[in-house]
A and B are shown apart, each in its own frame.
Chain A
Amino acid sequence: MLKRIYIDNYRCLLNLELRLHELTLFIGQNGAGKTAVFDVLYALRKLLEGRARVTDRDIFPFTSLSRWQERALQIIEIGVELEGADFEYRLEIEHDKVERRARVKREDLTRDGGPLFKFDLGDVRLYRDDHSEGPSFTADWRESALARVAPAKTNAHLIRFLDFMRNVLVCGLTPSSFSTEASTEEKLIARDGGNFVNWFRHIVQERQDLLHEYTLEMQDVLEGLRSFRLEQVGVETRALVGVFGERDKPQEFRFHELSDGQRSLTVLYALTMLTGRKHVLLIDEPVNFVGLTEIQPWLVDLAEACGSRISQAVLASHHPEVIDYIGADRAVLFSRDGIGPTRVESLSDKSKHLVADGPLRLSQVMARGWES
């Protein structure tokens, strides 16, 4: 489980530390920095997958440095609890403001305080699971050297951490970008959900055991739905089709023929029911397109899934249904004075009294800007 995130010198995030629960809700005004945290975790996952360099546009470009800082060093720390052990990961990225280049300056991983991996100015030192020194070598400064470590008998802990971070899914669903057809299978859902059908093809192959329960749930969610199927529309291409209506008189609709809300729900339930126990879900504004009657049932399902069907979830939302259901004890309040740095703070006493005494729900307090 992702327990702690520390970010320094990334856009509006300056010396910011967050503590997370199994289910956490980021709340706060527009521009307060909620999505910036998601961006950091997305970039980190891509780096640790070994599929990106620090300078890539959506990773840690020069423009991601905090504007009001002279310092050129960005620091990201992640605290993760896995199987009872505490992993601490630290990444330092150094930017050259003149050349507009960046490099990884340091990268460390520890488990319960003992070293597993160190990268320092181009030199890597590996450590075995018992923290004894292993081999050393030089590595490319432009990417995560940790991501290049191959599994071996003596580094199971390091690989376990990498596996965890590679299963952090960061999404902000955009139904208009969802494709209906897929020519390949993909193991991870894209940030906008655009490759959902590719991912669904992968799930159909790998996790058939989960599909029955998902279909039953979706029959309650989408009125009249009987099942989803993948129809062959080319040599390698399959299209996602929803089969609706009576068994003897079915009506089929391609995925793009469903409404934005119906497609969002299809993806949201797939995330909570089909991703698997290893995954951490970070979803930005999950219910943007979802009808009011469907929001709380999905939140109930998500809350039940955390710690069982999936590892953990973090949502960012302004929606009153989300704010009031998840509640104050699992909410992290982001705030910012003008264009200053993001702060994470507790709800004000004033707002707590308003909710505690009954006249207002938490979402109503937030709608009035009285939360901080």
Chain B
Amino acid sequence: MARRQVQYVLVCEDQQQEAFVRRFLKETGLLKNRRKLRIERASAGIGSAEQFVRAQYVKELTVGRRHPVERTLIIVIDGDKYGVKGRLRQLDKACDEKGIDVRMSTDRVAKFIPTWNIETWLAYLAGDTVNEHRKDYLRLPRPSDCTKHAKELAAMCKERRLREPAPESLKAACSDYHKSLR
């Protein structure tokens, strides 16, 4: 049944990224039914989550190109010390290593690369002025505590204006959001 088909595939590292993106998609009105979103999250507690995201990114690109279905791929990976550009290069390299084109005009992919990590964005959305080189912004007690942060970002996206000074990684993500998701 068409109603059951997934429209968004989210590949992410952890529960906090997942909870934030789910809420953001809901707040922006893109995700009205949870069944339209498929989540591919790294298995928590085992190995490198960012490695999982890179590997899964290549798999999802390959599948999407071989069997075109109308869906948007959303990749979330912490920038860490590599930042947005460094992570984008790593994602491209992962494609090269598997022998697939880095970009095709038919790909609908949004890449969100919070730097240093998702907690940096959450601190910004809670009203702080953040430094993307700082890696000790506090985790929320529960991943689900990010509702107000997602609402704040959705409101800014609607206005197409982030509160300044905004983290560069969030600016890049917003640009990708408007290009690939709207």
Contact = CB atoms under 8 A, between A and B. Distances in A.
Does chain A bind chain B? yes
Interface of A: 220, 223, 293-294, 296-297, 300-301, 303-304, 307-308, 324-325, 327-330, 347, 352-353, 355-358, 361-362
Given A296-B38, A356-B51, 17 more contacts: A220-B35, A293-B4, A293-B35, A301-B34, A304-B19, A308-B144, A325-B39, A327-B43, A327-B44, A327-B45, A328-B45, A329-B44, A356-B46, A356-B48, A357-B51, A358-B51, A358-B52
Contacts of A300: 22, 34, 39
B47 A355 contact: yes
- The CB with the most chain A CB atoms within 10 A, among B1, B33, B46, is that of B46
A365 to B, nearest CB: 10
Contact of B43 (A293, A304, A328): A328
Interface of B: 1, 3-4, 15, 19, 22, 33-35, 38-39, 41, 43-48, 51-52, 55, 142, 144
A346 to B, nearest CB: 10
A334 to B, nearest CB: 17
Given A223-B1, A307-B142, A355 B35 contact: no
A311 to B, nearest CB: 13
A303 B41 CA distance: 14
A356 B47 contact: yes
A91 B144 CA distance: 36
A294 to B, nearest CB: 7
Nearest to A298: B34
Contact of B46 (A294, A301, A308, A362): A362
Q: Which 4 A-B pairs have the closest CB atoms?
A: A356-B47, A329-B45, A329-B44, A327-B44
A141 to B, nearest CB: 43
Contact of A347 (B19, B46, B55): B46
21 contacts: A220-B34, A220-B35, A223-B3, A293-B4, A294-B35, A297-B34, A300-B39, A304-B19, A304-B144, A307-B142, A307-B144, A308-B144, A328-B43, A329-B44, A347-B46, A352-B46, A352-B47, A355-B43, A358-B55, A361-B43, A362-B43
B18 to A, nearest CB: 8
A250 B43 CA distance: 44
A241 B45 CA distance: 44
A355 B44 CA distance: 10
Nearest to A357: B47
| Most-contacted residue by chain A among B22, B45, B47 (CB, 10 A) | B45
A330 B44 contact: yes
B31 to A, nearest CB: 11
Nearest to B48: A356
Contacts of A328: 43-46
A301 B19 CA distance: 11
Contacts of A329: 44-46
Among A307, A356, A362: residue with most chain B CB under 10 A:
A356
A297 B22 CA distance: 11
A358 B47 CA distance: 9
Contact of A220 (B33, B38, B48): B33
Contacts of B33: 220
A294 B39 CA distance: 13
Max count, chain A CB within 10 A of own CB: residue among B1, B35, B41, B48: B35
Contacts of A294: 35
Contacts of A303: 15, 144
Contacts of B39: 296, 300, 325
Contacts of B47: 352-353, 355-357
Contacts of A307: 142, 144
A92 B22 CA distance: 47
Contacts of B35: 220, 293-294, 297
